[in-house]
A and B are shown apart, each in its own frame.
Chain A
């Protein structure tokens, strides 16, 4: 397996779910075997995005009641992807969400073990090249488990004061401690801040936040309506292949693949100090 990527954020509404789904589809379109897992048990939304019907949830995998593979739905035929695209959903019912909010620490210990087993399972039993995990924002046990199990944490953030302050806390209190490769992805940033002096200014602000490398900056595609990108109505990589957002996702997929390639020079060069513009 090439890598397990966890997308996380301090706040909700950063576009994590949309990016996770589109990144997974983009990787599958180029022939990779991909698993996408919804670990946002507090506000599951991938099921709505994929318009899927299922009665098997990742909640049950963490409970130890179901095998992971039995909870996957294969979307490779639906989306006509070259590689397999298996998606596991979190239970969006109120009962399912409440159950996950009231687990005791004994359960959390088992859930951590099952989360840490993910990579071996997905690699050996599912044959996945990549696993993308959409996590719950903030400090939640399922997100922390996913990050502990991951090879790469992509921290999705917006450049507002609330998000930057909270993100600084996360970097110092969580990402640094876990010792995982972590990178920042700035989403929905004003177009004029993605290039030239604007970009330099953003980089300066981010360097105050942490020394983490920046994977990229995704402009705000406000012409589409905010709700479409953040609200999960469309998977652009499937339904709007020529849209700029989809093209951005292809660049993101390139960079994620580079990051997860052993001894990749580009992976280490995407630092805040250089002027490389991944996108």
Chain B
């Protein structure tokens, strides 16, 4: 029982570290919903296979669409919109995507 709790705390710690790291990167880029000014990394298949597992599916879909909202991506992946929004924002934080506000929607896109 104690071992399980310890393992759980360890997992939580890793996740918190990851969140802090992402938040830090996000704040360095201004953290706004418009990332026009940030420079993006090349988003080719080589980059995609190097991503953490949970981002691969999202990355392949946005590479196909070239631009889209979290809802567009969720329709293709079959996962929740909120989850895709989180994953897309992670890809923005990592420097692979950009995002901009279009009317009331946030559109994620690969820079030309």
Contacts and interface: CB of A to CB of B under 8 A. Distances in A.
Interface of A: 105-106, 108-109, 112-113, 116-117, 141, 144-145, 148, 173-174, 177-179
A177 B48 CA distance: 9
Given A106-B42, A108-B44, A108-B45, A117 B64 contact: yes
Contact of B60 (A109, A141, A148, A173): A148
B46 A178 contact: no
5 contacts: A105-B44, A109-B110, A113-B64, A145-B45, A148-B45
Contact of A144 (B45, B56, B57, B110): B45
A112 B63 contact: yes
Contacts of B48: 112, 148
B56 A177 contact: yes
Contact of A178 (B43, B56, B63, B66): B56
Contacts of A179: 53, 56-57
User: Which of under 10, 10 to 19, 20 to 34, or 35 or more describes the interface residues of B?
Assistant: 10 to 19
Contacts of B63: 109, 112-113, 116, 148
Given A177-B49, A177-B53, A105 B64 contact: no
Contact of B46 (A106, A113, A117, A144): A144
A117 B46 CA distance: 18
A178 B51 CA distance: 10
A111 to B, nearest CB: 8
Contact of B45 (A106, A117, A141, A173): A141
Interface of B: 42-46, 48-49, 53, 56-57, 60, 63-64, 66, 110
B47 to A, nearest CB: 9
A277 B53 CA distance: 33
A174 B48 CA distance: 10
A116 B57 CA distance: 12
Given A116-B64, A148-B60, A105 B42 contact: yes
Nearest to A115: B45
B20 to A, nearest CB: 26
B56 A109 contact: no
B91 to A, nearest CB: 14
A148 B64 CA distance: 10
A103 to B, nearest CB: 10
Contacts of A177: 49, 53, 56
B45 A113 contact: no
Contacts of A144: 45-46, 49
A174 B57 CA distance: 13
